[in-house]
Amino acid sequence: MSSFHSFDDIKKAIANNETDCKAIVNHYLKNIQAKAHLNAFVEVYTHAALEQAAVIDSKIASGKAGKLAGMVVGIKDVLCYAGHEVNSSSKILEGFESQFTATAVQKLIDEDAIIIGRLNCDEFGMGSSNENSVHGKVLNAIDESRVPGGSSGGSAVAVQANLCTVSLGTDTGGSVRQPAAFTGIVGIKPTYSRVSRFGLIAYASSFDTIGVFSTNVKDNALVLEVIAGPDEYDSTVSKKPVPNYSELLNFSKSAKVAYLKETLHSESLQEEIKSNTIAVLERLKQEGHQVEEVDFPLLEHVLPTYYILTTAEASSNLSRFDGVKFGYRTPNAHNLESMYKLTRAEGFGEEVKRRIMLGTFVLSASYYDAYFTKAQKVRRLIKEFTEDLLTKFDYIIMPTTPSTAFKFGEHSNDPVAMYLEDLFTVQASVSGVPSVSIPNGEDKNGLPIGLQIMANSFKEADLYAFADYLMESNN
């Protein structure tokens, strides 16, 4: 069976009786086995996926199949799936089996998508390289000496290497968009509250967003329209109607596009990424779109604001993992206090411990106002500035990342250098607006370059249409 380039290809092959769901699942299982060394999958649901496929084949035959029949999906190892293990790629949740299914995953299943397995990631979603996983690092299929990006590195590589049709990841500060850029695929962070967070193991609750990886915009849009929308289990999710994004991809208007001067003049920006981004902006001008340079004086404050707030929320969220009720418990304890201390010291990885300590520090009585309260105020300024820009312009364009995929170990001993990999993605996360990364050529080493596009809150339909237009222009 030849590789499918899109879900449309799969649907067409099924409609023409050229294949069925069981054959499609077997195709992906064969690919997963052949590329097991990439370490994208933590666990493959071989039997469950084949059983699902058989049921869906029967539904197709009777004309009762859902809109995702034939789509094979991988889910990041932070999303709960009843009866299956989930451990956020952390020793602290070793052997933990989920008692319920995340709403986003359930909505896919309800439309007859097939869940093929859970995907490797940085521990609790904390990282930009997928080097912080208890399951080991994920390899970038284009160059196996380089990182796939993080934290959703396994989700990105699974789509990049044709191990599933689409995958779900999570994006707290760029964890979908950055891996999408490093692997040459499409990745979206929707508006915060567009998708229910029920069943997502929390890192930073006011930032965490479930996103989608795909090889093309239409598949991405289709999945988002299925998983988005209200949920009785999540009081923070929006009740706004969900458009049929996949049917609204025709882009024919003249757009007003802003680009941030500070991003293109950043000292850390790789020259090829800069030139490829400028080339897109110049092409848009030639095609009659309004393109303007704007100042974003708050850029230098976005990353510190993000890390102060997310580490504070992580410190609070991860306090529940203490060895008492579930997950790993140290065998070396001699009293209750040592059980708490040793369980957390042995169960969490170095990066997670670093962020918990930072978060505990900024929440401490002596520093709460100096750091946490001030960061909340700066967050509001960044959000207001971004939303104001997006009332004047339809889109903001910038590079997704300052560099292409770096080599394993390159930033391992320098946390600040690693954190700077999020420099361009955190603005959308701090502001809560939707943002998508699409492929934008390659550097001299053949490594993918990502282009990031932001739109105003709940403007995913416009964002997808413009992204699709730009991808078609690139081809």
Domains and CATH numbers, the chain: 7-247 (3.90.1300.10)
Of 210, 245, 259, 287, nearest to 462 (Cα)?
245
pLDDT the model gives residue 122: 98
pLDDT band at 369 (very low <50, low <70, confident <90, very high): very high
pLDDT in tens, 272-283: 999 999 999 999
pLDDT for 25 equals: 98
Query: Residue 449's pLDDT band (boundaries 50, 70, 90)?
Result: very high
The percentage of residues in the chain with a pLDDT greater than 90, rounded to a whole number, is 93
Whole-angstrom distance, CA of residue 149 vs CA of residue 133: 12
Q: Give residue 420's identity as a one-letter amino acid code.
A: L
Question: Per the structure block, which two tokens stand in for 293?
Answer: 């340079």
As a whole number of angstroms, the distance between CA 155 and CA 166 comes to: 8
pLDDT for residue 1:
57
pLDDT tens digits, 238-265: 999 999 999 999 998 899 999 999 999 9
Asked whether 171 and 165 are in contact (CB, 8 A), the reply is no
Annotated catalytic residue 6: no
Residue 28 has pLDDT above 70, yes or no: yes
User: Token pair of 182, please?
Assistant: 């490093």
Q: How far is CA 216 from CA 4, 8, 453, in A?
A: 12, 11, 15
Query: What's the pLDDT at 475?
Result: 65
**205, 35, 46, 196: which is closest to 118 by C-alpha?**
46
**Which pLDDT score, from 0 to 100, does residue 123 have?**
98
pLDDT value at residue 432: 98
Tell me what the mean pLDDT of segment 124-135 comes to.
96
What pLDDT sits at residue 2? 63
Has residue 474 got a pLDDT over 90? no
pLDDT of residue 152: 98
Secondary structure class of 406 (helix, strand, coil): coil
For residues 42 and 94, the answer to whether their CB atoms sit within 8 Å is: no
- pTM listed for this prediction: 0.96
Beta-strand relationship, 72-76 and 114-119 = parallel
Q: Give the pLDDT score at 5.
A: 87
In this model, does residue 430 exceed pLDDT 80? yes
Given pLDDT bands bounded at 50, 70 and 90, which one contains residue 8? very high
User: In whole angstroms, what is the distance from residue 373 CA to residue 371 CA?
Assistant: 6
Q: Is 360 exposed, middle or buried (0-12, 13-18, 19+ CB in 10 A)?
A: middle
Active-site position among 128, 129, 133, 151: 151
Residue 108 has pLDDT above 70, yes or no: yes
151 assigned to active site: yes
Tens digits of per-residue pLDDT, 309-358?
Answer: 999 999 999 999 999 988 999 999 999 999 999 999 999 999 999 999 99
pLDDT exceeding 70 applies to what percent of the chain? 99
Whole-number pLDDT of residue 198: 98
What pLDDT score was predicted for residue 420? 83
Cα-to-chain-centroid distance, residue 88:
14
The residues that bridge with 243 in the sheet, in sequence order, are: none
Catalytic position from the list 35, 76, 107, 137: 76
Active-site hit among 175, 196, 315, 429: 175
DSSP SS3 for 74: strand
Is 133 in the active site?
no
Number of H helices, E strands in the chain: 16, 11
Q: What is the mean pLDDT of the chain?
A: 96
Q: What is the DSSP code string of 262-276? A: HHHT-TTS-HHHHHH
Amino acid at 381: L
In angstroms, rounded to a whole number, what is the distance separating the alpha carbons of residues 110 and 108?
5
Tell me the average pLDDT across 186-211: 98
